[in-house]
Structure 1
Amino acid sequence: MTDFGSLSRGELQAMAEAAREVMNCQRVLAKTGDNIVGEVLRGAGTFYEWRHYPPGDVYDAEFHAQYYYHAHPEDERVSGEHGHFHTFLRPLGMPSGITAARIPDSRDQGGENDALCHIVGISMDRAGLPIRLFTTNRWVTGETWYSASDVARMLECFVIDHARPSWAVNRWITALVRLFRPQIVGLLQARDAEIARWQEKRPGSDVYEDRDLEVVSEHWVSIEDQIARIELALAKARRRENAAAREAC
């Protein structure tokens, strides 16, 4: 479990602000009986497994962030899952100095903005709430591989800042990545460690294309629990600061 006590007050406050944004987006949708999943599927008609929603994905041409929602067949879903988001960042939106990891990869990367990075997957339940965060192997989304430390640097760059197809979902998913930033960083680190272990077990194989390894790391989440932990950590930080101020007098 992530140690919130190790986070700075600034980090905690940024997460608290993201929580307010997430809750506000959910509140606005709930007023009309809607939720995040229903909103992303609005107007889609029959919901088909594997198909991307919305069609063509959502892509912010300013920040080069991208996402889509889809679902696997029911027998391939985790307990309680309706479907999940996949989130990405393309090279033109990445911080300076980031390059793809030096691993075997014979695939054609295409143009300068095609070597996209998968940030994190977000499993959703039928009530439209996130229940799990996860990382995937390279073959799952056809991504280009970047090290955990570089992907961690990308998290603040994941921004969907336009109204279509849903202003609420765009703001929600942008804020959710910030709300769960510590867990996502932990998942990325666990992802790289698991890939290394898998490679040791299968020397000479291309672990990144191994169909036996799909979800590399996962963490079950709750927005309410996350907010409670943030509030507790902020309260402790304030008490420490007040104590320090009294000692200084």
Structure 2
Amino acid sequence: MRLASVAALPETCRPVSPQLAALSGDTLEMMAEAGSEIVEIYRVLAKTGDNVVGELLRGADTFYEWDHYPPGDVYDAETHAQYYYHAHPGDQRFDGEHGHFHTFLRPGGMPPGVKPAPVPPGDLPVDHDERLSHLVAIAMTPQGLPFRLFTVNRWVTGETWYAAEDVIAMLDSFEIDHARPSWPVNCWISAMMRLFRPQVVELIRARDRAVEAWRSQRNPPDVFEDRDLEITSLLEVSVTDQIQAVNYALNR
């Protein structure tokens, strides 16, 4: 992970923690329900000494760096949401990271009117279904707990680039609503997207500011393919702290 690319960006490109008290009651209730769902998933997995990462990797004899888990990714044919888990080599990971989830939405699940952002010629896949958008990545500790959310430049995942507000409009469509390969993990990652929705929104907006700042500072031939810009925004998170903050905002 090229954290140096984030450090080189202006402070205005960094995401800010949203003020939860400013959110509507309905939004806070939705986040509270997601938090309760995550806590219940943790409770059930803990009874057998499991966590969401171990549950997803169950049956894999060896965990190989760069490989997608599960093979072929997890894809919901109804919602067109998709995710996978993988890890980079040790010297390319965040401190304390085991690996991370990448989340996506394919065109079939995108809201009407959403179109790819203007990009250099040849950057747009010919196959319409391959024009998927990356939403956010979730970094996990060796204990199987999320500790950081981040966004990436386009070359990292091979995604198609959509403007920040269009990506934000996609967030509510992310849902993995089937049992395979793991119902607990599918429910967990869907709930994570709801619990941390305000933070994900800020990260996506910071992503676009970072790309524009990088383009302005360095003037690369194609900013979306510049290998020196990998991580475009990141934010430390805690499920426990987020649930407490949501409950505090609701009680107010």
TM over 0.5: yes
Deviation >6 Å, runs of 4+: none
What are the within-5 Å matches in structure 2 for residues 156-175 of structure 1?
A: 156-175=172-191
Q: Distance in 1 between matches of 2:26 and 2:212?
A: 33
Deviation, structure 1 residue 107: 3.0
- Flag structure 2 segments of 5+ consecutive residues without an equivalent: 1-16
Show the counterpart of 1:244: none
Q: Distance in 2 between matches of 1:34 and 1:82?
A: 15
Q: Distance in 2 between matches of 1:221 and 1:83?
A: 15
Q: Distance in 1 between matches of 2:209 and 2:101?
A: 23
1:152 to 163, 168, 176: 168
Show the counterpart of 1:20: 36
Show the counterpart of 1:34: 50
Contact kept, 8 Å, 2:140 with 2:148, in 1: the verdict is yes
Contact kept, 8 Å, 1:124 with 1:132, in 2: the verdict is yes
Deviation, structure 1 residue 203: 2.4
**Relative to 1, partners in 2 of residues 1:28 and 1:105: Cα closer, same or farther, differing over 3 Å?**
farther
Query: For 2:224, what is the secondary structure of its paired residue?
Result: helix
1:50 to 53, 66, 89: 66
Percent identity of the aligned residues? Answer: 59
What are the within-5 Å matches in structure 2 for residues 129-144 of structure 1?
A: 129-144=145-160
Q: Distance in 2 between matches of 1:217 and 1:64?
A: 25
Query: For 1:187, what is the secondary structure of its paired residue?
Result: helix
Larger Rg: 1
1:3 to 15, 19, 24: 19
Show the counterpart of 2:134: 118
Contact kept, 8 Å, 2:207 with 2:233, in 1: the verdict is yes
2:88 to 56, 72, 86: 72
Query: For 2:100, what is the secondary structure of its paired residue?
Result: strand
Aligned length: 236
Deviation, structure 1 residue 215: 0.6
Query: For 2:97, what is the secondary structure of its paired residue?
Result: coil
Greater relative CO, 1 or 2 (CA 8 Å, sep 6+):
2
Deviation, structure 1 residue 206: 0.8
Q: Distance in 2 between matches of 1:97 and 1:14?
A: 26
Contact kept, 8 Å, 1:199 with 1:205, in 2: the verdict is no
RMSD: 1.0
Contact kept, 8 Å, 2:124 with 2:160, in 1: the verdict is no
Show the counterpart of 2:202: 186
Q: Distance in 2 between matches of 1:130 and 1:69?
A: 12
Deviation, structure 1 residue 26: 1.4
> Deviation per CA, 1:12-62, whole angstroms, max 9, x where unpaired?
111001111111111111111110010110001111110110111100011
Deviation, structure 1 residue 202: 2.0
Show the counterpart of 1:235: 251
